Chains A and B, each alone.
Chain A
């Protein structure tokens, strides 16, 4: 699903150049649930941004679903993001004046799906995350966990190839975090490929594979026995 070869990225900080990614190589198969771990400054967020086409690499190869991702202009990047990727953010990033259903329908709007079909699909995915009866509520009327579930529903609505989650539980207490992880595991069980950036070991343990980054290189890449979140809920 994802093939990355010798990926480099550096940021210019005035005169100095900060080499953040120093040759990353890794592959992700379809249906994997991967945790990307590392302390802050390890380059994990940069890697996720490049995977998410929010940022470009300096050199190296990135192939997503057999499509080489390079030389993207804004419009093309937007189309690829819409088609291939679903995003889940730490701070949810729901649009505050749109109801839960409208938020979920937003990626479909950019796919130019007709209004009626959008609404039906939005309700379907809200139901999947257990929030069907909250469809008409604004984000301000939802709890943190509910917001993140709406965000996950939104990421799923576009039926992406890969789900990218940047610290999805970072703003949640541990009980709610496990609920969200339970949901993510179930989505993964259904066959979706998911990448999670986290620095919490218990969250990483709930994935099937942990990739450890330090100072811009992968120092460890291992498959693990998944801890089911269900038992803590």
Chain B
């Protein structure tokens, strides 16, 4: 099939028409170049979104309770649902395989004082696991540990902004700060990539706050992360199971949205991936349309080449060339030009992305790149395109009547 003669024919045809071949090849190369860049841009957007959310663990779920809006299970509407430490244990027991980290959140507003500096901040009373859930980066000291929790120690991990506001140029670690008049020892300072507001938070052990305020075991929210190996469907299935269990536990009507809310990051990601998936399709359509103009160009050139070579085709037929061998000749040439110029476009685009891509990192756009599957798909598209471009001219060539082609008159 690919003997030397075919290559020789292609070589002669191309070298006799260098400019024409270049111009047509260029349109296909350009089409592929744009297609790849567009797809890479979508990938870049996807990366940008992921980056935005990767501050928090992307496999996190938050459980909040409220006041029921529907009567259910013998209870009237308007019942307040209160979660307790027992619910944490209950989740741990019920979903040992699903839960990775789990922590309650108790919210408290506090006015903090150190020497003459004061400020108003949010305190979240949490478990040690919370560091992993929020991906809190402690850059001085340490986070709350199990001992703090067991002893209900009056310790606090403060945000970088809090340290800046209260301690000015002093090192906060080991110092005592007053929260609503009670002294807490600062054991750590954390930063947050996400935003500055997060750095105005203060973390303390849950037990400490539960003891200080009325010996309760009440909690406001449960934050947890699930098995990181879960894919989107498994993640959504897990939060559904969790929700069902909680609705039964607290006797909340299945359709009651006010009684309990379970927020799963996976849902956001599902939306985003739906969006970028749609964008992908739009981009592929646009790219293919651009490519189409290149294909038409090559088809056009091939028709022209055949017109020019009508006589030669006639001679070949008189000498015994079967129609298929003529079709083969035209198709191979077309596929060769298309594939070669397409690969050049592909090479330049992927090269450009490899060089420039990693250095691009803005809030909504990061590291545009192409995957192997795009490259493989593009290659297949190119070959198919070459065949399509050559098909009509090839049929035309095969229909050349030797008698007409050879008439000298």
Interface residue ranges, A against B (CB under 8 Å): 49, 52, 54-55, 74-75, 78-79, 81-83, 87, 89-91, 93, 95, 97, 106-107, 109-111, 115, 154, 158
Contact = CB atoms under 8 A, between A and B. Distances in A.
Q: Majority SS of interface residues in chain B?
A: helix
B319 A115 contact: no
Contacts of A55: 403
Contact of B320 (A89, A93, A110, A115): A110
Contacts of B315: 93, 95
Interface string B272-305: 0000000000000000000000000000000000
A82 B323 contact: no
A90 B408 contact: yes
B317 A78 contact: yes
Interface residue range, chain B: 20 to 34
B97 interface: no
Interface string B334-375: 000000000000000000000000000000000000000000
Contacts of A83: 320
A91 B319 contact: no
Interface string B8-28: 000010001000000000000
B319 A52 contact: no
Contact of B319 (A49, A74, A82, A90): A82
Given A54-B406, A90-B408, A97 B319 contact: no
A91 B320 contact: no
A180 B322 CA distance: 30
Interface in B389-409: 398, 401-403, 406, 408
Contacts of A74: 322-323, 398
Contacts of B325: 110
B305 to A, nearest CB: 13
A54 B319 contact: no
B318 A81 contact: yes
Nearest to A157: B319
A80 B336 CA distance: 31
Nearest to A84: B320
B407 to A, nearest CB: 8
